[in-house]
Structure 1
Amino acid sequence: MTAGAPPSAVRPWRRTGGARTLVRDRWIHLRAEAWENAAGAGLDPWYILDWPDWVHVLALTADDRAVMVRQWRPGLGAASLELPGGAVDPGDADPVAAGRRELREETGYDAAEYRELPALSPDPAHMNNRLRFLLALGAERVADPSPDPTEEIAVELHPVAELLDGLSRGAVANAAHAGGILLGLRAAGRIAF
């Protein structure tokens, strides 16, 4: 990598105070902490969100279509085109098992082959979880979707070429999902960068 300073030039911060829990429920743990950067500047409060890891799946059918979902997102205030996925549950054996479960629940699709892609951070400044991506090849519908009672999901199949064109127009609003789509299409040999 050529951009930015080499990792050795980045000095670590030091936590100067304990964590204060602000919100804790079944979904998140929001805490405030006191930190000091390497130059000695204090940062208090610094907010950290503890989330479970998430997994999202780029599932491609034999006829080169991506299995996508559309659902309402209150933060965006609109319906959002996204990759199927969700939280990695504590009992999940691995990200592939979690992703396969989420793909089947949300879309009714399963795939012949799953590949793990690089795990990314959705917001390294404030969130401590990892966003895991999977590429699923040979996806086909094997059952009816069975989403959670709180999920209202529309399943959509998008030709890969149209999905790529849509990315350049903001059709996928979730930046992490756009990144996962690009990583998956690269792993599938559909694009190069």
Structure 2
Amino acid sequence: MTDLKKWKLLQSRLVINNQWCQVRQDEVELPNGKIIDDFFINVRPDIALVFPVTAQQEIVFVRQYRHGVGEVLLELPAGAFNPQEEIAEVAASRELTEETGYVAEKLIRLATLYDNPVKDTNSIHLFIAENMIKSQQQELDITEEIEVVLIPVYEVIQRVLMGEINVCGTITAIFLGLEYLHKYKI
């Protein structure tokens, strides 16, 4: 058993509150009694992320521009959702279909992880979907321009090692998805 203690929240207020960004300023008391009055927290929605595998053993990736880093990145289909309004499985299935046009017959939860627990409030819900079928056109948001990229499962790790795939949540889902396939399917 640990003797570590939680911080005591004394006061909290939203200092930025709009559609694209919410930031909370907390006043906290540390276990040693010290008060910090400007600990800022990013209030973020949860993320549903899918490791989609086709019947041909290809992984369905998306390539898109990410303004935060100013780069076009190769990553797995994912999207934000509010867990008070939608369950993670529904959000994952919806985002997969909207971004790629592929439909998941069944999703299996791989893990639920914290994204950045120091400063962010959200979790990432990771799923695997097998035997993906392309059933419709993409339904992209105004901020999205997405290229669907199919990569054979045996090439995925090499692409991570070469730096072509370099988004943390995607890499975590890749390793958990490959472990799932190795453990349960091979």
Q: What residue number does 2:112 align with?
A: 119
- 3-state DSSP class of the match of 1:48? strand
* Runs of at least 5 residues in structure 1 that lack an aligned partner in the other structure: 1-6
CA RMSD across the alignment: 1.8
Deviation at 1:144, TM superposition (A): 1.1
Greater alpha carbon shift after TM alignment, 62-71 vs 19-28: 19-28
- Residue aligned with 2:62, SS: strand
Indicate conservation of the 8 Å contact 1:117/1:133, yes or no: yes
* TM, length-normalised to structure 1: 0.87
What is the one-letter code of the residue matched to 1:180?
A
- Residue 97 of structure 2 is aligned to residue 88 of structure 1: no
Q: Distance in 1 between matches of 2:156 and 2:34?
A: 44
Counterpart mapping for 1:34-183 below 5 A: 34-89=27-82, 91-92=85-86, 94-183=87-176
Indicate the residue corresponding to 2:13 in structure 1.
Answer: 20
Q: Aligned partners of 1:120, 1:47: CA distance in 2, in Å?
A: 21
Secondary structure class of the residue paired with 2:138: coil
2:46 and 2:148 mapped to 1: Cα distance? 23
Report the 3-state secondary structure (helix = DSSP H, G, I; strand = E; otherwise coil) of the residue aligned with 2:56: coil
Matched residues in 1 for 2:120 and 2:21: separation? Answer: 10
CA distance in structure 1 between the partners assigned to 2:33 and 2:155 by the alignment: 50
Partner Cα distance (1:176, 1:38) in 2: 32
Secondary structure of the structure 1 residue equivalent to 2:28: strand
Look up the SS of the partner of 1:117 in the other structure: strand
Quick check: 135-144 or 41-50, which moved more? 41-50
Any idea what SS the aligned residue of 1:131 has? strand
Of all paired residues, the percent bearing the same amino acid is: 31
| Aligned position for 1:3 | none
Unaligned runs of 5+ in 2: none
TM-score (norm 2): 0.90
- One-letter identity of the residue aligned with 1:27: W
User: Is the 1:115–1:135 Cα contact (8 Å) retained in structure 2?
Assistant: yes
Higher strand share: 2
- CA deviation vs aligned residue, 1:130-173 (integer Å, no higher than 9, x gap): 11111001112111111112210010001122111111232222
The match for 1:32 is 25
Q: Is this contact kept in 2: 1:27–1:51, CA < 8 A?
A: no
Q: 1:11 aligns with which of 1, 5, 8?
A: 5
Matched residue SS, 1:120 = strand
